[in-house]
Chains A and B, each alone.
Chain A
């Protein structure tokens, strides 16, 4: 039942906020929004008791296992940070708005709104509900419905602030992701043909009878579903929408898209991998490895000399999704790698949410997304700057980051030449990201006087990303401590 509540609470609150809309003060809807996020978090914690339990009738639709439980908790806690940050961000925009027009350097990025704030908050809650449904769905076709729903409710979020770039990004996101997900639906039909039990794609039944699966149809289904959910997850070569979308959206939306949505899409690929018969494991592994390394390569090439710091973070997401695909490929042979998979996913999401929220703060203060135009961050906004640099270092895998531990374990698992290529690509990404970050943080800021007010507001928005990032740091420390004790 708590699992159902996880889906119902955000949906109902979204309905309330949508209906109240402009009729009540913005303060009230914002409070309701944060309340919904908190309730959802408690509900997720409460649903832990359903881990491995629950009646058979219940498990026909919703369940949790050792992989989806951390993702559910992660999504719920990230949403709490993001919701509080969103309210702060909206208040900051209100503070910057003088007589209907935005004041200061941030004006070009905070153009007029396409629709009201209440719809924005309601869509965010619906987005959370759809993600919760996807995470806990037992039936693979129910999972598909949920993933498609996440695309639809997150598309309006992208163009909250009316601009040509945002509309273009939304169109690309809608069209490319919908096409990808429709391919996954075709893959599900193939899977239903391959499945001799005619179970209606129940995950448990499929996993029990994995070795009865028809090999030809099963392999075709795997390819289509990998391509379909891979599009949504941002694996190269299906990643083209991702940097465009992330660069054009408000920071809070890109934080959710990157920190929470990509995990859900990845869960789809994980589930389909889990139900593949052993005869297909080799080819599945090869495909996952190929896409994973291609994603890493794409990220490495485009991160170097990248001019837009939000695109930079987007390419870093592609890199980490590639790493997840590689870890998944390894976990086919070594089941222990499934734990590494979860660690990596959790570490990446926390750090990426923190970084995207900070990037949103930088946009708010400087009013630009270009690396060249942001100078002297240490001078004008020292909290944001130091957190940005610290979390970027952690994201690149500097110890004691959790990503350091997982990447180390991954390289131990890979063959030596694969490990070497991986290290080289990781190094390239790290070099590109830190190069851009140092240029943004150092130097003196020529716009210092004109952006005094917006920089002050951005500094006030630093706590939420700090919480998220420091939790990741703490997680990394405990992970490393545990590993060191093991060896």
Chain B
């Protein structure tokens, strides 16, 4: 157990939890950016605690990670928000108090589930897996329980960040090339989704994803 890493992980968990309960999109974007930032500095903290030095390659990947997830993605989301002219998630399918409760239950489930697994010795912290699972579940929950397309993107980013946290927490490394590839994919994805949100706004005059339901098997009467 080491203080610094646990603090980072708990900060990540707190961000996921607050995402479930906040209505202002700007706030949500900032929370996701904080998640990305914590995720980016986690490997550095691990290296510091272990006493080992970090290779130039790993340092580079960590830097790109912070730049993309902590700065570039939030910036693009903010642009998309301004273009689509939405500030709040006004009518979530599930209210904010209830969402907070659901998030708490999801966190409890994650901690219970993570206890069932048996790990190898190479784990950064016992907290890493449950925190990652909580983020994954909360991200999925946001995608299901929110109407606005933009909030769904934020939910997806929370989901993606948590999966990356799982990888970092389990000390899994694929090499710089692959990790940069994954980052590039996420970057382009948010870029494309941002454009899609804008186009949907143009065409439909709203970005309520639950109203995107004209494609069905039954012919329209």
Chain A residues at the B interface, C-beta cutoff of 8 Å: 114, 139, 141-142, 144-145, 148-149, 151-152, 155-156, 159, 162-165, 167-172, 174-175, 178-179, 182, 185-186, 189, 192-193, 200-201, 216-217, 243-244, 247-248, 302, 306-308, 311, 370, 372
Contacts and interface: CB of A to CB of B under 8 A. Distances in A.
Contacts of B93: none
| Interface SS of chain A | helix
Given A168-B215, A189-B166, A145 B193 contact: no
Contacts of B188: 149, 152
B199 interface: yes
B191 to A, nearest CB: 9
A145 B192 contact: no
A167 B203 CA distance: 8
Contact of A145 (B120, B173, B178): B178
B203 A162 contact: yes
A171 B203 contact: no
Given A152-B189, A167-B196, A192-B167, 19 more contacts: A114-B199, A139-B178, A145-B178, A162-B203, A164-B203, A168-B200, A168-B213, A171-B212, A174-B189, A175-B193, A178-B189, A179-B156, A182-B156, A182-B159, A185-B182, A200-B175, A216-B117, A217-B117, A247-B215
A172 B181 contact: no
Contacts of A145: 178, 181-182, 184-185
20 contacts: A141-B178, A142-B177, A144-B182, A145-B181, A145-B182, A145-B184, A149-B188, A159-B199, A162-B199, A167-B199, A179-B159, A182-B156, A186-B166, A192-B172, A200-B174, A201-B174, A216-B117, A216-B118, A302-B217, A372-B219
B169 to A, nearest CB: 10
Contacts of B172: 189, 192-193
Nearest to A185: B163
A165 B209 contact: no
Given A141-B178, A185-B163, A186-B166, A171 B185 contact: no
Contacts of B143: 175, 179
A331 to B, nearest CB: 28
Contact of B170 (A144, A179, A189, A216): A189
Contacts of B200: 167-168, 171
B6 interface: no
Nearest to A195: B172
A248 B189 contact: no
Contacts of B80: none
| Interface SS of chain B | helix
A171 B153 CA distance: 11
A70 B3 CA distance: 54
Which 8 pairs of residues, A with B, have the shortest CB-CB distance? Answer: A145-B181, A244-B215, A148-B185, A168-B212, A307-B219, A192-B172, A141-B178, A141-B174
Nearest to B218: A307
B52 to A, nearest CB: 17
B163 A189 contact: yes
B160 interface: yes
Interface in B177-208: 177-178, 181-182, 184-185, 188-189, 192-193, 196, 199-200, 203-204
Nearest to B219: A307
Nearest to A184: B163
Contacts of A156: 192
